[in-house]
Chain A
């Protein structure tokens, strides 16, 4: 079950972005503790040592609902290649010049190729965090 949770360093960056959804776990001195119902704002007095621990799907939903950033993780599997990659969709904006696509959805591509779904998911989350961090600067 530990694999459902984002790593502590990303949980910390999410906290800095204002993530405050109820979570099934928390990090206490960087150690994951599963169980309970925790929000980052619950730890105001011990904010240095407690971070709420979101699941990957929870965080992806948060980005979708709060920042209109969706993503998909896709597998390329043919005789030459086997890898996962990801695409981020910015649904607030449109791109009418993307010749590779048949719609106006603005895509943020990534060149990475990953051996497992989980690796792609992790990199996708890092990219989402970077995008929002840069917007908030």
Chain B
């Protein structure tokens, strides 16, 4: 299920842009004792904002808990929720397209942002295209809000 989430570095940049939509999971910069992954995902936890706090329900214990928002937890948006956020908040609409090469039939992915003339070409996987596209969206919004 980890594939559903945007990478930690992009989640952090989205948080800095003010992303505060409900998420299924979060990244913890401090590893839990049972896992030595640098940034652990909690796929069994459902996170929601309530004012200034993050409420999370641990499905396994069914106990609601609260993290304060100034904790180090970084919400982990899904790809779908991240792109939706840019679409609805900043009117930045994107499209990722499957393509094949005329020369050798090689498969690749293009992406574009509506309203911008440039089409970004030749990513080997849709995931690479998504990362590049989301990075560009963040850069656009960051430059607008400077």
On chain B, the residues within 8 Å of A72 by CB distance are: 95-98
Beyond A1-B23, A94-B100, list 17 extra A-B contacts (CB 8 Å).
Answer: A1-B22, A1-B24, A4-B80, A4-B81, A21-B1, A24-B43, A36-B44, A36-B59, A55-B78, A74-B95, A75-B95, A75-B114, A89-B97, A103-B99, A103-B102, A104-B100, A105-B99
Determine if B107 and A35 form an interchain contact, defined as CB atoms under 8 angstroms apart: no
Identify which of residues 77-99 in chain B touch chain A, using a CB-to-CB cut-off of 8 Å.
78-81, 84, 87, 93, 95-99
CA–CA, A18 and B141, complex, Å: 40
| A28 touches B (CB below 8 Å) | no
Determine if A57 and B80 form an interchain contact, defined as CB atoms under 8 angstroms apart: yes
| A132 touches B (CB below 8 Å) | no
Partner-A contacts on B (CB < 8 A): 1, 3-4, 22-24, 43-46, 48, 57, 59, 78-81, 84, 87, 93, 95-102, 105, 107, 114-115, 126
B110: nearest chain-A partner, CB-CB: A72
